[in-house]
Structure 1
Amino acid sequence: MTTAQLTKSFPGLERALYEELGKEGQLKEFREGEIILRKGQFIRSAVLLLEGTIKLYQEDEDGGEFFMYYIQPGEACAVSMICSHEQETSSVLATAATDSTVLLIPLSCMDQWMSHYKSWRQFVIQAYRSRYQELLNTISEIAFRNMDDRLEFYLRKQVKQFGKIIRFTHQEIANDLNSSREVISRLMKKMENNGWVILHRNSIEWIKDDFNAA
């Protein structure tokens, strides 16, 4: 991994830190749908995303999944940072939403860089802060909104991430929202009747004019 590539993906770091990232980081590729982190897995490295999209879920005791948020290129998985530093197991499931390339950073380097590089400390703090805000938004959706509103919030996030053609089935959406396909299909039909979406066989087209991504 060259310094130029790292600078493009993670701007604003010290030059010496780019050199360390290139030297110590391990590149790993994941195909779409592959699991990156499992719940209960011991994490030995922090995960930085270079290319693609990572999708995080929370799992309940019965194996049900609830979509939390996406990680974009140039961002880090805050869960991997916390768990690797504290030598704890992962509390979430992370999968590759698209073909993805990550840079794995050993725990020993993370500790050293926190004391040596101001830009790394700022990068880590920003990762924690942005994920904390995502979690607050998710909690708000679960605690204070009905399924109609939660579905709209969810679809807006998908449009923001992938564009106005959402290539998810109703069952996949139901899995992400920890609901049933029947409930999602009924609500999607209601959205179509209201002129918000057009339903296709294995995709959904968002057509509502006042789109404002969550």
Structure 2
Amino acid sequence: MNLDFKQNFEHLFEEDLLNEIEQFGIFKEAEAGEELIDIGTYIEYMPLILHGAIKILREDEQGDELVLYFIEQGDTCAMTITCCLGKKKSEIRAIAETKAQLIMIPIEKVGSWMQKYHSWQSFVLQSYHERMKELLEAIDTIAFLNMDERILKYLKDKAIANKNETIQVTHNQIALDLHTSRVVVSRLLKALEIKGEIMLQRNQIQVLKL
């Protein structure tokens, strides 16, 4: 098991649970852009993130994607929790936003530890609560924000997830993630630059006001 594991989770879990995670968890490294979970597949493991960030997306009937939220170090994904416990197919796609290190928890342990360890139950419920808040924020963003505000929020969330105010992203990728057109994205990015919110570079954007 990765040496950083206990440093990341010893404040959350008791020693017996930490030992079980070391015993049954599977360490995994993912490159940026690597798909970890696909829509329509059965989830066999729940990820705990040691380092890096994961992007969670939904897909419509036409195959267009929309970014819901990012999960970072010390987090897990509520959508995988519900699929794990209900033994249902995944309704989300998870892609490594950055190079990431994870511990994959077998689904049979996800449920049994809920009854065995209070700290695990609290962690799962708190994680679920946090992800639901982010889902509501995503809904509010779509429903109530103008597209320029949506783009700025997306860039700020991405910068925070990457822990870098300068992010590697193309106009086309932003358009795909926000389910809009590249022409609209390019026009609004230029307007945001004029307002002093961002600085545009080739395939890079610097967020000036995090």
- The interval holding the TM-score normalised by the smaller chain is over 0.9
Indicate conservation of the 8 Å contact 1:47/1:81, yes or no: no
Q: Unmatched 5+ residue regions in structure 2?
A: none
Q: Unmatched 5+ residue regions in structure 1?
A: none
Report what 1:103 is aligned to.
Answer: 103
Q: Tell me how far 1:59 sits from its aligned partner.
A: 0.8
Amino acid aligned to 2:85: H
1:65-84 Cα offsets, whole Å, 9 max, x none, are 11111111111122111101
Report what 1:23 is aligned to.
Answer: 23
User: Alignment identity in percent?
Assistant: 37
Indicate conservation of the 8 Å contact 1:48/1:76, yes or no: yes
CA shift in 2, pair 1:116/1:146, >3 Å: same
Give me the whole-angstrom Cα distance separating, in 2, the residues matched to 1:34 and 1:120.
28
Indicate conservation of the 8 Å contact 2:37/2:95, yes or no: yes
Indicate conservation of the 8 Å contact 2:12/2:123, yes or no: no
Give me the whole-angstrom Cα distance separating, in 2, the residues matched to 1:44 and 1:95.
16
Q: Tell me how far 1:12 sits from its aligned partner.
A: 2.1
Report what 2:184 is aligned to.
Answer: 183
Report what 2:168 is aligned to.
Answer: 167
1:12-68 Cα offsets, whole Å, 9 max, x none, are 211000000000111122111110000111111211111211111111111111111
CA shift in 2, pair 1:174/1:20, >3 Å: same
Amino acid aligned to 1:9: N
Amino acid aligned to 1:169: T
Report what 2:144 is aligned to.
Answer: 144
DSSP 3-state at the match of 1:173: helix
Number of corresponding residues: 208
Give me the whole-angstrom Cα distance separating, in 1, the residues matched to 2:110 and 2:193.
49
Amino acid aligned to 1:155: L
Q: Does 1:5 align with 2:12?
A: no
Give me the whole-angstrom Cα distance separating, in 2, the residues matched to 1:164 and 1:101.
22
Give me the whole-angstrom Cα distance separating, in 2, the residues matched to 1:159 and 1:5.
23
DSSP 3-state at the match of 2:4: helix
Provide TM-score, normalisation by structure 2. 0.94
Report what 1:46 is aligned to.
Answer: 46
Give me the whole-angstrom Cα distance separating, in 2, the residues matched to 1:107 and 1:202.
39
1:98-148 Cα offsets, whole Å, 9 max, x none, are 111211111221222111111000000011000000001000001112212
1:141-195 Cα offsets, whole Å, 9 max, x none, are 0111221211121122123223221211111111111111100000011112222
DSSP 3-state at the match of 2:70: strand
DSSP 3-state at the match of 1:36: strand
Provide TM-score, normalisation by structure 1. 0.92
